[in-house]
Amino acid sequence: MPGLMLLDTPSLYYRAFYGVPESLTAPDGMPVNAVRGVIDMIAMLVRAHSPAELVACMDADWRPAFRVAAIPAYKAHRVAQDGAEETPSTLAPQVPVIEQVLDALGVARIGVPGYEADDVMGTLTARARGPVDVVTGDRDLFQLVDDSRPVRVLYTARGVKNLQPVDEAAVTGKYGIPGRAYADFAVLRGDPSDGLPGVPGVGEKTAAALITRFGSLEALLRAVDGGGDLTAGQRAKLSAAHDYLRVAPAVVRVAHDAPVPAADLALPATPRDPEALAALAERYGIGGPLDRLTSALAAR
């Protein structure tokens, strides 16, 4: 049934950038492959799922201070010399164009200073009163899956044309953990792509077994402190990682209480600013994708 669709916009524009040829350019020669790809992705999503509400969630801060304070290595390998995120030189100029297109269409676009897009999605999910679909290529957001509401992830690893719906059964089937335990599992396992070390000596299978046995990270840590049912090796590894395990949950878990402003999330049937949209279409040579998206919006 129609509900709220949350777009992990950075995930989508990176996928579009690497999946659509850079030979697609504006009249002035600027690559617009990410712009065109994102527009077409949204058109496909609208046609396939017809959400009542849709939000393009943005990274107002891709490396929030509260996460870096907890784990200084968080995303440190992605920091460019100027301190900003290391972004392909032909992608960076396209991001403002994507934002201008979304604004001219009237699609809600939300970023919150000091927070990542993940935190915007987590907060909007917590506030939602109906079904939520989270569109992302980031498995960290599997932590939002909740059959009771329902909240599911539409996983883009195989592309937007081949979305993988992820519910609690899918999480259990893939990782062998309770369906809502992904964040606790991820803390133990770690994620080198985000600079999260995990617990040395605890791989994916051991992490899954521990979370399944104890039900939660909190219960597992109580067992470590209180002499619960752990092997000597497991206890030693977890005890040695005490400092990491104390701070890592605040890094791995997305915020559910970020100061996301109130906004009209309704998906528009017609563009908010047709003149601005027409100007963008002409300047960047994106009339075809925009026609497909406006047609999809009107068809709802």
What is the chain's mean pLDDT, rounded?
Answer: 96
Burial readout 245-283 (b: 16 or more C-beta within 10 A, e: otherwise): beebbebbbbbeebebeeeebebbeebeeeeebeebbee
pLDDT in tens, 80-113: 988 889 999 999 999 999 999 999 999 999 999 9
pTM of the predicted protein model: 0.95
Q: Which amino acid is at 236?
A: A
The rounded distance, in Å, linking the Cα atoms of 161 and 69 is 39
pLDDT in tens, 183-205: 999 999 999 989 999 999 999 99
The rounded distance, in Å, linking the Cα atoms of 198 and 200 is 6
Res. 179: pLDDT tops 90: yes
pLDDT in tens, 20-29: 999 999 999 9
Cα dihedral sign for 171, 176, 179, 185? negative
Q: How far apart are the first and last CA of the chain?
A: 13
The rounded percent of the chain whose pLDDT value lies above 70 is 99
The rounded distance, in Å, linking the Cα atoms of 18 and 37 is 10
The rounded distance, in Å, linking the Cα atoms of 280 and 235 is 59
| Average pLDDT over every residue of 146-169 | 96
pLDDT score recorded for residue 1:
57
pLDDT in tens, 238-297: 999 999 999 999 999 999 999 999 999 999 999 999 999 999 999 999 999 999 999 999
